[in-house]
Amino acid sequence: MVRAVAALVEAESLDLVTVNAENAAGGSGLTPSNYDELIAAGVDGITLGDHIYRRRAIMRVLESKMNIVKPANYPDESPGREVAYIQPMRGPEVALISVMGRVFMKPVDCPFKAIDRVLAKVAGRTNVILVDFHAEATSDMQLMGRHLDGRVSAVLGTHTHVPTADETIFPGGTAFQCDVGMTGPYQSILGRRIDRVLETTRTFNPTTFDVADADVRLSGTIVDVDETTGKATAIRRLMMTEDEVQQLVDSRPSIS
């Protein structure tokens, strides 16, 4: 699906593309080669979540690259930066931040205190702020969206792999969606082979949760932001099948 990025940028007149890439390496973690592939495809910024350190080789990328962030409520000593400042081709600089929820997730520091701390650092530098809230429970996601309404441009959820149909703009001007969904195989259990997950769930017999490969779709969300105020003016869900992606790629004018 990485081949779709450039075509989407053209078709939708996108100024900035960000992805949560914590499952890019065979369904778990991110490798330096995955990072390079995404950036070469046209991705501008990368967020991560609870699988951030699954591949040890990513440590050097987290410590050296300026456009990738760890969850801001991870310990200060953990590798990575808590905010990335990205300059799009057009418009003002964008602050990219990630925080992780706590309901049904591994123990982490308070995401509300963490985001308040990071926003205090961002204040005065840019009004365009994108927050990836990596969380399991929709209640957690809704609470973070309301906590940040009017203070950031968008709060977009990741982690559940299931796109939600609740995209909206809150009264304060913050775009919100509980989960933007996954880019991956939808004939699966959250990207993994149905038969393997079902076998282990029903019988406790251990199996390898291999990544599935059928009905691959690209999911995401497009947000329009007023570059002066940082307020969202529109939000729209996006889902494309492999065939639709190929049609989009094929429709691009050839460069001689």
Tell me whether residue 147 is one of the annotated catalytic residues.
Answer: no
CB 221 within 8 A of CB 191: no
Q: Which of 29, 54, 62, 22 is nearest to 158 (CA)?
A: 22
Domains of the chain: 69-181+215-250 (3.60.21.10)
Of residues 255 and 186, more confidence is placed in: 186
CB 133 within 8 A of CB 158: yes
Q: Give residue 67's pLDDT.
A: 98
* Residue 254 pLDDT grade (very low, low, confident, very high; cuts 50, 70, 90): low
Q: Give residue 89's pLDDT.
A: 85
User: Is the predicted pLDDT of residue 229 greater than 50, yes or no?
Assistant: yes
CB 98 within 8 A of CB 68: no
Of the chain, the percentage scoring pLDDT greater than 70 comes to 98
- The reported pTM is 0.94
User: Is the predicted pLDDT of residue 256 greater than 50, yes or no?
Assistant: no
Q: Which of 71, 57, 155, 164 is nearest to 109 (CA)?
A: 71
- Quote the CA–CA distance of 43 and 122 in Å, as a whole number: 22
Residues 175-209: tens digit of each pLDDT: 999 999 999 999 999 999 999 999 999 999 999 99
- Quote the CA–CA distance of 65 and 81 in Å, as a whole number: 9
Q: Report CA torsion sign: 55, 60, 63, 69.
A: negative
Which residue in 51, 134, 159, 161 is the catalytic one? 51
Residues contacting residue 48 through CB under 8 Å, at least 6 positions apart: 20, 21, 22, 30, 68, 69, 70, 71, 80, 98, 134
Residues 244-253: tens digit of each pLDDT: 999 999 988 7
